[in-house]
Amino acid sequence: MSVSTAMQEYLAEIYRLSYYSENDTQISTSALAKVMKVSAPAVTRMVQRLQESGYLEHEPYRGIYLTPAGEREALASIRRHRLVERFLTDVMHFGWHEVHEAADELGSVVSDIMVRRIDEMAGFPSRCPHGEPIPTSDFHMPRVKDHALNRMMPGSDLVISRVNSHDPEKLQYLDTLGLKPGTRFHLVSRAPFNGPLQLRIDNSIQVIGHELAGVLQVCTEDEFALV
């Protein structure tokens, strides 16, 4: 059975929710409805369709999880999307704030041959422009280990791992501060009572608010390399 674009979107989102879940790999239909921004009945219909197609299992009162076939489809979809984003930024020179929705539109029509060529032209990247890991060609998803910047202790040498936002205005502002995945910095201070943070990047000091700092996921130098 062919997998529709809508089915691919659901499978990819289920995988993403499970990937970053700390306690359970089974995802509730309510959590899926929230992230997909659709009604509960719409999720129920799609979950039933995906289950009948062999892409997921649904345990009442526990949640849903992907079958091996569903996981493969999810990883293929995520790989296409994130590679298209890198192609748009690295090869076509779009801003990182412009590519998420464009990749949603293009990803559904990009063939496997094109995916391989895009991967090559983009230099075989391991992360998308926002720092999310890109599944390998044999559908292995690297693991990330990072933490929100506004929870880190001052005095740490850190690397920006991911940016948890696709808000164009936030991304453009972070870009002006030089705060993008791969940026290395020293956390100088963190003011009490959810006050601002001071970061030293090379020889300059940047100040960032507590809320915006929560959008940035950071890690150590060793943790930035994905395995």
The class level of CATH for 75-142 reads mainly alpha
The class level of CATH for 5-66 reads mainly alpha
Please give the angle made by the CA atoms of 104, 105 and 106, to the nearest 5 degrees.
95
Read off the pLDDT of residues 17-35 as tens digits, 9 standing for 90 and up: 999 887 667 899 999 999 9
Using the predicted structure, report yes or no on whether residue 1 has a pLDDT greater than 70: no
Q: How confident is the model at residue 227 (pLDDT cuts 50, 70, 90)?
A: low
Question: What residues contact 40, with CB distance under 8 A and at least 6 apart?
Answer: 29, 30, 33
Domain 147-224 = CATH 3.30.1360.120: no
- What's the mean pLDDT in 179-205? 96
- Say if 75-142 and 147-224 have the same CATH topology: no
- What's the mean pLDDT in 134-161? 95
Extended strands (E) in the chain:
56-59, 63-66, 147-148, 157-163, 184-190, 197-201, 204-208, 216-219
Read off the pLDDT of residues 75-87 as tens digits, 9 standing for 90 and up: 999 999 999 999 9
Q: Are 164 and 215 in contact (CB under 8 A)?
A: yes
pTM beyond 0.85: yes
Domain-wise residue ranges, the chain: 5-66, 75-142, 147-224
Q: How confident is the model at residue 221 (pLDDT cuts 50, 70, 90)?
A: very high
SS3 159: strand
Using the predicted structure, report yes or no on whether residue 14 has a pLDDT greater than 80: yes
